[in-house]
Amino acid sequence: MTQPTAALPGGGAMPLLGFGTWQITGTDCTDAVRAALEAGYRHLDTATMYRNETEVGRGLADSGVARDEVFVTTKLPPERADAAQATLDASLAALGVDTVDLWLVHWSTGGDDVALWREFVAARDAGRARDIGVSNFSLAQLDELTDATGVTPAVNQVRWAPSLFDAEVLEGHRQRGVVLEGYSPFKSTDLADPVLAGIADAHGVTAAQVVLRWHLDHGVVVIPKSATPERIRANADVLGFALTDDERARVDGLASR
């Protein structure tokens, strides 16, 4: 099945379905990345603070999948704001790549985010990151970066799930041309909820697969994580069905409960 993607300013196509690697380390991480790529994922998400970039890179190299077929994201922790370029150097070396497809500010520094954003723009202009973005930023914080530099983050990665659905936040990102990317899709979700269970039964899938498909149908990137091959394959198997408008609205409604 063709992977749905979001177009980014740098010309890249970001798969809406990605593989998250938070809290997966060592050989478990390498094995999980290989399993994810074998299952059809073409988007890997890591971060400096995850301490697994080497393992992610090894899994990619060992997979046999060509580098240019896989979208790779990493992130800079705010405490490394004064060494942004050196941190990116370390990330590229650990991942075994010349450039990342997306480099994110992991969360606000709580201080001069604009100065750090200028470092990100410089890295993009130098070809070390094809696109740049942020994580855990508000709409107002996005606007601050745009107003100060003229460069809008390509992506904002935030916690997102049916129970956290906010139509104004979703539309605010669309109006700004910022791709919304959600993490922890299941942590804030009751997978036994009757709404999800009923929709899952109607499609012959699991409630978890409904949640992932809900993200895709809204055009939101989602990065489920698992170290279990069976779960990895199940999470990847969401391209063969779609929610109806009514089903999507019912899942949206879980946020108002």
Residue 248 lies in a domain: no
**Number of domains the chain contains:** 1
Give buried/exposed letters for 114-153 (b at 16+ CB in 10 A, else e). eebbbbbbebbeeebbbbbbbbbbeeebbebbbeeeebbb
Residue 232 lies in a domain: no
Between CA 48 and CA 62 the distance in angstroms is 21
Residue 82 lies in a domain: yes
Between CA 184 and CA 26 the distance in angstroms is 21
Backbone angles phi, psi at 104, to 5 degrees: -115, 145
Per-residue pLDDT tens over the stretch 190-213: 999 999 999 999 999 999 999 999
SS3 44: strand
Q: In terms of residue numbers, what domain contains 96?
A: 5-188+219-227
CATH code at position 123: 3.20.20.100
Residue 35 lies in a domain: yes
**1 pLDDT above the threshold of 90:** no
How many residues make up the chain in this entry?
257
Residue 210 lies in a domain: no
Residue 50 known to be catalytic: yes
Q: Specify the pLDDT at position 257.
A: 79
Among the listed residues 19, 41, 50, 103, the single catalytic one is 50
Residue 194 lies in a domain: no
State the residue for tokens 């650990």.
94
**Closest CA relative to residue 97, chosen from 118, 119, 128:** 128
Residue 253 lies in a domain: no
Residue 47 lies in a domain: yes
Name the pairing type of β-strands 5-7 and 13-15. Answer: antiparallel
Any known ligand binding at 106? yes
Q: Mean pLDDT in the chain?
A: 97
Between CA 114 and CA 137 the distance in angstroms is 13
